[in-house]
Amino acid sequence: MESIIVRQHVTLADVAAHARDSYGDFVKAVVDIQRQLMAMGGEMHADDEALLIDDGSGQSDLWGINLYPEEHGSDGFIEYDSMINLRPRQGNRTTGVDDIATQEKIAAVVARLVQP
């Protein structure tokens, strides 16, 4: 599957299908916390990031995550880990998402967009 932009919602079954077609048990995604949307399905987070930037997103609002559809409803559903998250100028010095408030914004966008 190719990267898609999720603007309204996607089902958990759709997320699982993207996972099966990419890495098996997870799918890479990039969340725009400002515009409240996400892209998913790229081979690398940078693919989804580029798609969103081309669509009008600002790079500083984009955060890379992995979604594990089999873990939906648990803490293991969202993994905050991506090379695109490494941005010392924004105070994020790891590939994770160090700021808890940013994690909460990401989780809120994902919860709104991914419907069971």
The one-letter amino acid at 8: Q
pLDDT per position as a tens digit, 59-116: 999 999 999 999 999 999 999 999 999 999 999 999 999 999 999 999 999 999 999 8
pLDDT per position as a tens digit, 10-63: 999 999 999 999 899 999 999 999 999 999 999 999 999 999 999 999 999 999
Predicted confidence band at 2 (pLDDT cuts at 50, 70, 90)?
confident
Other Cβ atoms closer than 10 A to 83:
11
User: Secondary structure of 48-78 in the HEC alphabet?
Assistant: HHHHHHHCCCCHHHEEEEEECHHHCCCCCCE
Any idea of the CA torsion for 55, 58, 61, 66, to the nearest 10 degrees?
Answer: 40
* pTM for the model: 0.96
Joined together, the tokens standing for residue 48 give 């989804």
The answer, yes or no, to whether residue 1 has pLDDT greater than 80, is no
